[in-house]
Homo-oligomer: A and B are copies of this chain.
Amino acid sequence: MAGSVNKVILVGNLGRDPEIRRMGSGDAVVNLNIATSESWRDKQSGERKEKTEWHRVVIFNENLAKIAEQYLKKGSKVYVEGQLQTRKWQDQSGQEKYTTEIVLQRFRGELTLLDGRSGPGGDSEEYGQGGGNDFGRSDFGRSSPLEAPRGGGRQPAPATTSSYAADLDDDIPF
């Protein structure tokens, strides 16, 4: 539409382990079920109440899909940024259904693990020291591996996709 923004920001916990599907192209697509909730005290009864909202997140972004696959699990607390998409489908009986999802497209979206210590079981020295389980705002996606990360002038070396992508193949990305 020209001049539009479609952004969802969630901080919540995975209700179950990530679900990974493999596309024909070999790319992984990861689905997350994320719960957010609010609690309050009911004015009348004085009771504490809580309402949980479940969100369906779909990750097409390759880097983030890999990371989700490797490091997220049931209970993980994450920061997710994506866009809303509603798709139509038909159930077995031919009924039209609509599902709204938070989508992290290729080269788009962000996913950050917020648990104190969420890396791989063993927890490598890398991870322990290196710091940063912000596994990459995958905005960087698969940007040209030929592109040296010169950065933005006076900024210190910026976090480019290239380095993240490389990391994913040989060691822990955060």
Give me the interface of A with B, judged by CB distance under 8 Å: 1-13, 23, 25, 27, 29, 35-44, 48-55, 58, 60-61, 77, 79, 83-87, 95, 97-100, 102-103, 105-108, 110, 112-116, 126, 129-134, 137, 139-164, 166-167, 174
Closest to A173 in B: B41
Q: Does A12 contact B5, Cβ atoms closer than 8 Å?
A: yes
How many identical chains are in the complex? Answer: 4
Instruction: Using A143-B141, A143-B143, A152-B60 as known contacts, say yes or no to A9 and B1 having CB atoms under 8 A apart.
Output: no
Q: Does A3 contact B79, Cβ atoms closer than 8 Å?
A: yes
Instruction: Using A35-B4, A153-B23 as known contacts, say yes or no to A100 and B86 having CB atoms under 8 A apart.
Output: yes
Instruction: Report the bound CA distance from A164 to B39 in whole Å.
Output: 10
Closest to A126 in B: B48
Instruction: Using A41-B167, A50-B132, A100-B86 as known contacts, say yes or no to A10 and B11 having CB atoms under 8 A apart.
Output: no
Residues of B within 8 A of A44 (CB): 148
Instruction: Using A114-B114, A143-B142 as known contacts, say yes or no to A153 and B11 having CB atoms under 8 A apart.
Output: no
The residue from B37, B107, B147 contacting A140, defined by CB atoms under 8 A apart: B107
Instruction: Report the bound CA distance from A142 to B160 in whole Å.
Output: 11
Instruction: Report the bound CA distance from A44 to B168 in whole Å.
Output: 17
20 extra A-B contacts, CB within 8 A, seeds A11-B11, A77-B114:
A1-B132, A2-B132, A4-B35, A4-B112, A5-B36, A5-B79, A6-B36, A7-B8, A8-B84, A40-B164, A50-B130, A58-B152, A84-B100, A86-B100, A103-B155, A105-B159, A106-B151, A106-B152, A116-B116, A139-B139
Q: Does B153 contact A107, Cβ atoms closer than 8 Å?
A: no
Q: How far is the CB of A72 from chain B (nearest CB, A)?
A: 13
